[in-house]
Structure 1
Amino acid sequence: MNPFDVSYVDLDSAVRAGRVDAVDVAHEVGASAASLGVPLHEVLDRVERAFDGLEPSFAMVRGVAVAWAETSRALQLETSCEDPLTQLSTLAHLRHSLDGLYRGAIRDDSTVTDRHGLVVVELPRQAGQVLEQALHAVDVSVALRTAFPGDEVIAQLSPRRFCVLAERRRLDQPTLSLVTVLLRRTFESPPPRVWLELLPPVAQDVTWVLDALTG
């Protein structure tokens, strides 16, 4: 049996036995189904059958749906250049763009450090659900795209950190100030941090920079 079938059998057993971990098992059902590409409506039908005619609890349905949605989104980000919800580039796409810049610098006998940099935005620590974090990411995306309306790469580094890969001539103080003003319209207190992150001279060191920013 595949992981979805295994977790469903476990859910059926947990529901019939009234086990306290039934919601945790439901989470596994949703996640395994998404990883195999099983549509959500089919997953919910299976959950309903496990209750043998009774109405599934809200916690059970929510556990399945949230796990399915989170896993589906994570899988989509692994194979996509952009998050369809926030319109932000993925970390993989940012790395690919940086690789291209360093290859071009070698070809042109120039340095990436002199031509490009990263504007980094860090949101304050807040206790929030996945949906709330996604909405905050949308707000950051809108602000950064307003300040950088060109072909700059605007990416999400972590739930709280974002960056813009842009030419150094665009990373002047007026632009950074505009980013700060736009963000403070949504995030008032405490305000987000905004800073300029210089890129290393050689491509091998980019991994260290991104690891530090995503950590």
Structure 2
Amino acid sequence: MPARFEAVAEALAAGTDFVDRCAVVGQHLAHDGASVEEALAGLRETWRVVTGVDPTFDAVSALLGGWSEATLGYLNHLSCTDPLTGLASQSHLRSCLADKYRAPHTDVSGEWALVMCQIPEGDHPSGDRLERSLEIAGVGEHVRTVFAQDEVVARLGVNRVAALTRRDTNLGRRVRLLRLLLNDGRSDSRYDADVVELVPDLTNRVRVWIEGLPHADGAVGPLFDELSR
């Protein structure tokens, strides 16, 4: 049995769902450095050993989806740009923040903030990755219109865009303008102040809020983990 495919073989033999297991195997193989040809060859060998026939379309699709997802995540980590939206990558945003924390005599939490935008999760119940990325790219264009100076505008997770900007006297007005642009002129006073905890938005609009930054660089990683979920 090919390495990594044991769980898939067990599911086939037991007659249980194998799709999720194929996706997980695809991710593991990508992390192992296996090519897509090697992944498909392993899947075919497993199917033929257990069932005597070639794998189904669902199995191949799940395997390739998992492999592609893991590979794209690796490339995003290396790149300064998210390839699907043209926005800065999360790793680039993190690197820019790290530089600011290393700068002497800089109060990062007092001088800088993240302006966060989140598209409604219910817009794409099918989980269409391309369609969601196109919408994120559109949100990013609006963010760049309002934050058009030296701000870093990045994709953060699946549904969010973040802009690293100075915390000055114009920040509140710029956030209100961005909220109006993203929501067809409609605003919501609940988000006019700085908030750290995410407040549920029952209006199903693009949420916009100011996210405070921690005092120490070591706390940025957990913050990004939470914001990118």
Smaller-chain TM-score bracket: 0.7 to 0.9
Q: Which runs of 5+ in 2 are unaligned?
A: 185-202
Superposed, which structure 2 residues align to 1:13-162 within 5 Å?
17=13, 19-52=15-48, 54-104=53-103, 106=104, 109-126=105-122, 127-129=125-127, 131=129, 132-162=131-161
Shift, 1:71, TM fit: 1.5
Runs (4+) off by over 6 Å: none
Shift of 1:206: 4.8
Q: CA deviation at 1:174?
A: 4.7
For the residues of structure 2 that align with 1:34 and 1:205, how far apart are their CA atoms? 29
Q: 1:195 aligns with which of 186, 209, 220?
A: 209
C-alpha change, 1:181 and 1:18, in structure 2 (3 Å) is: same
How far did residue 58 of structure 1 move? 2.0
Deviations 1:109-166 (A, max 9, x none): 3533454222111233424416144343333223323333444222233333331002
Contact in 1 for aligned 2:89/2:155 (Cα 8 Å): yes
**Residues 19, 160 of structure 1: CA spacing in aligned structure 2 closer, same or farther, 3 A cutoff?**
same
Q: CA deviation at 1:192?
A: 1.3
Q: Deviations over 1:155-203 (max 9, x none)?
A: 2333333310023359534532442244236xxx621121223445x32
Distance in 2 separating the partners of 1:111 and 1:69 = 40
SS for the counterpart of 2:120 is coil
CA contact (8 A) 1:7 1:28 kept: no
* Pair 1:7 & 2:4 matched: yes
Structure in which a larger fraction of residues adopt helix: 1
**Distance in 1 separating the partners of 2:111 and 2:11:** 59
Paired residue secondary structure (1:6): coil
Name the SS of the counterpart of 2:34 in structure 1.
Answer: coil
Q: Structure 1: any 5+ residue segments left out of the alignment?
A: none
Output the CA distance in 1 between the equivalents of 2:210 and 2:20.
Answer: 42
Across the aligned residues of Structure 1 and Structure 2, the Cα RMSD in angstroms comes to: 3.4
Q: Distance in 1 between matches of 2:211 and 2:170?
A: 10
Contact 1:27–1:64 under 8 Å retained in 2: yes
Aligned length: 204
Q: Give the whole-Å Cα distance in 1 for the aligned partners of 2:31 and 2:156.
A: 23
1:10–1:25 contact (8 Å) kept in structure 2: yes
Deviation at 1:81, TM superposition (A): 3.3
Compared with structure 1, are the counterparts of its residues 23 and 160 closer, same or farther at alpha carbon in structure 2 (3 Å cutoff)?
Answer: closer
- Judged with a 3 Å threshold, the aligned counterparts in structure 2 of structure 1 residues 21 and 125 are, in CA distance, closer, same or farther, namely closer
Q: What amino acid maps onto 2:29 in structure 1?
A: A
Q: Deviations over 1:57-90 (max 9, x none)?
A: 2211111111111111222233333322123334
